Structure 1
C-alpha cells in the first residue's frame, strides 16, 4: 500500500477497517491510516466475507478487530474496535450483522 512517499506491505489480517472518503478509501492498520485511490465499492468484492463486514456506506470492518457491540437507541448498533474507535452499523445492516453473529 502506498500513500505519498510512504509504502507499506501489509496483510489483510492487519487491517482494522476501511472508511470511505469520496473516491478514496482510508485504510486503518496499526497506528497508520493511509488513503488509497479506490472506493469501498471497488474494495468490498475483493474482501473475504467471513472476515470483513460492510457496517454502513462509510465503513467496512474486520470482524476479529471488534472489541464490543452495543445497541443504539436509533435501532442500529455501535461497534467499538480494538483501537477504541466507534463505528456505527446502519439499521439496514444491523439485522445482517445480528444474523451473521447469531445475536
Structure 2
C-alpha cells in the first residue's frame, strides 16, 4: 500500500495532483490532502505516509519549514513547485526529487517510480541526511557552498564540489573520483550531474567525462588532460576549442 500525503495551500492544485495520481499510478494507494503545513504536521503521526508531495511556497509555513518541524522522518519527499532556480538547485544537490507545476503526467510517473525504487534501499536515516543537507544548503548565501549529496546502497555521502576531481559516465551510471575518497558508482546518468555542476566549473570534455577544471594540471599536445589524481582523460575533437579557451 502506497500512502501519499499531498500538502498544498491551494486546494485546487492539491486535488488535481490527487486525481492525476489516482488515474495514472496503477498501484494500491491511499491519498490524503492537506491545505496547510500545520494540518499536515498534525496528520503525520496517525496517517504515517510513505511519500509526501510537498508544495514549497505556502503563506504561513513553507515546505522547508514543514520539514524542519516534522517529528517523523519515515517518509520520502517529492517537492512540487513553480520554477524557483535557487530552490531547485538546492533540491537537486541534495539528491531529492521535485515536480514543476503544472505537473506533467510522465514526470509524475517517473518521480513515483523513482520513489518506489529508492524505498528498496534507502532507510529513515538516509532520508533524514538528504533533507538535512537540503536545509543546510538553503542556508548558504552562495550556491558555490552547496554540498552535493550522493546516495548509494552503502549510505549517503556529502561532498564539496572542490573535492570532486571528475565524473565518468557508464551508461545509466556515473562513477565519481575524489581527492581523498575511493570512487563511488551512482545510479544516475552523467547528464544529470552535468546539469547540476556546470556552473561550478565542471566541463563535459568527452561523452564519458565531466571534469572539474580546478583539478586539471595540464593539457598535452595530444589533447589529453592530466588531472590531479594522475588520471589522463582525452578531450573530444568538438570540445578542444572550448577547453583551450578555459586555459587561456
What TM-score bracket applies, with the shorter chain setting the length? 0.7 to 0.9
TM-score by length of 1: 0.86
Unaligned runs of 5+ in 1: none
Once the two structures are superposed, the pairs formed by residues 22-61 of structure 1 within 5 Å of their partners are 22-29=171-178, 30-49=180-199, 51-61=201-211
TM-score by length of 2: 0.38
* The one of 62, 65, 72 aligned to 2:215: 65
Distance 2:228 2:204 in 1: 17
Distance 2:242 2:164 in 1: 22
Q: Which has the higher helix share?
A: 2
Q: Which has the higher strand share?
A: 1
Larger radius of gyration between Structure 1 and Structure 2: 2
Greater than 6 Å deviation, 4+ residue runs: none
The Cα RMSD (Å) is 1.4
SS of equivalent residue, structure 2 residue 199: coil
* The one of 210, 218, 229 aligned to 1:83: 229
Aligned length: 98
Unaligned runs of 5+ in 2: 1-149
Q: 1:9 to 1:27 in 2, by over 3 A?
A: same
User: What is aligned with 2:243?
Assistant: 97
Distance 2:210 2:201 in 1: 10
